[in-house]
Amino acid sequence: MIRIRKIKTIAEFHACEDIQKAVWNFEDREIIPVNELITIQRIGGAVLGAFEPAGKGAGDRLIGFCFGMPGRLDGKTFLSSRMLAVLPAYRGMDVGFRLKKAQREFALDHGYDLVTWTFDPLQSVNAHFNIEKLGAVTHDYLVNVYGHSTSILNRGLDTDRFLAYWHVKTARVEDHLRSKSETPALDSLFGGSGVGHPEDVAQVNETFLDDLGILVSGPAKLKFATRWLLVEIPPSIQVIQTAHLPVAQQWRYKTREIFLAAFKKRYTVTGFITGNAPARGGTLNAEVSRRRSFYLLERTK
Ligand SMILES: CC(C)(COP(=O)(O)OP(=O)(O)OC[C@H]1O[C@@H](n2cnc3c(N)ncnc32)[C@H](O)[C@@H]1OP(=O)(O)O)[C@@H](O)C(=O)NCCC(=O)NCCS
């Protein structure tokens, strides 16, 4: 049984460095080192680990971790979450979810109402995880915020990020943590009931497969006349980065244009719709041929 708890020993803090290397393959200069993590733990932040129990005599093995530190915004303190990572062999088993739930407990115990972090808008897994599983929202888009990164996930792309807002005391977050989301399922977009009245929702970018079977985005329709918008992203940007980097870069520039414009018009990302859709023909791999992923944005007053 995997246990979530605070990181305590220097050896465990070192294991956090190892996980950063294993998950992002960062060059050494990008790794957050032990001395920083220890300091964060001491000054009101939280460095939490997911541990797999080892056999007799051996220590527990760290298989995931997250950390966040105090920040100040609009005169209030909040928790700025900086990293969350789970080793590939343990993904899809709620380990990331449990780490974030523990981070939320920490935030509530220490008087933080808000936890923020950045994530890449083109990472479908992270979008589903942050917006749907956790109930975060975003209305801020940061362009190339970290400059060049050596992260394997970033390969060849500008480091554009959403700034996620996790209002940990709200009913929205509580509902999402209990899997109660109002976001419609994917099949409602394909011949089903739709997101709302058809006149209330607009799909900003149509997508199609190019000659190589790679998913590309058509031109953006930046009309912003509807209450809701749908913005499609690829189910796996990594597959596209590997197959043909210029197409991945096009995705970055097109979605940057869309989100910057939509946020300026007071839309907020409140939902993420993902799942298997009718297959669209021969593509790079089965995952890409079936899964579709859409951000749902709602105009706020
Ligand atoms: C993001 C990360 C921490 C998630 O950890 P995890 O333990 O796998 O998370 P969970 O098991 O709690 O949830 C993963 C969800 O992604 C979903 N998912 C998997 N592939 C997906 C895809 N292509 N598109 C959308 N969602 C996907 C899973 O179905 C699961 O959701 P569900 O429980 O509703 O079915 C992990 O993938 C990771 O370490 N990634 C690399 C580092 C990173 O990007 N960190 C930043 C996080 S903001």
Q: Express each pLDDT in 83-106 by its tens digit.
A: 999 999 999 999 999 999 999 999
Per-residue 3-state assignment (H helix, E strand, C coil) for 24-45: HCCCHHHCCCHHHHHHHHHCCC
Tell me the pLDDT band of 48, cut-offs 50, 70 and 90: very high
Q: DSSP letter for 16, please.
A: H
Q: What contacts 219, CB < 8 A, 6 or more positions away?
A: 205
CATH superfamily of the 3-177 domain: Gcn5-related N-acetyltransferase (GNAT) (3.40.630.30)
Residue to probe by mutation, ligand 1, list 2, 21, 87, 128, most atoms within 8 Å of CB: 128
pLDDT at 5: 97
- More confident site: 58 or 292: 292
| Token pair listed for 67 | 């950390």
Ligand 1: does its nearest atom lie under 6 Å from the Cβ of 186?
no
Ligand 1: does its nearest atom lie under 6 Å from the Cβ of 37?
no
Closest C-alpha residue for ligand 1 atom 47: 84
Query: What value does the mean pLDDT take over residues 151-175?
Result: 96
CB contact at 8 A, 48 and 66: yes
Give tens-digit pLDDT for 250-274: 999 999 999 999 999 999 999 999 9
Ligand 1: does its nearest atom lie under 6 Å from the Cβ of 128?
yes
How much is the mean pLDDT over the chain?
92
Ligand 1: does its nearest atom lie under 6 Å from the Cβ of 293?
yes
Domain spans, the chain: 3-177, 186-299
pLDDT at 195: 67
**Which CA distances in Å does 186 have to 133, 169, 181, 277?**
16, 28, 13, 7
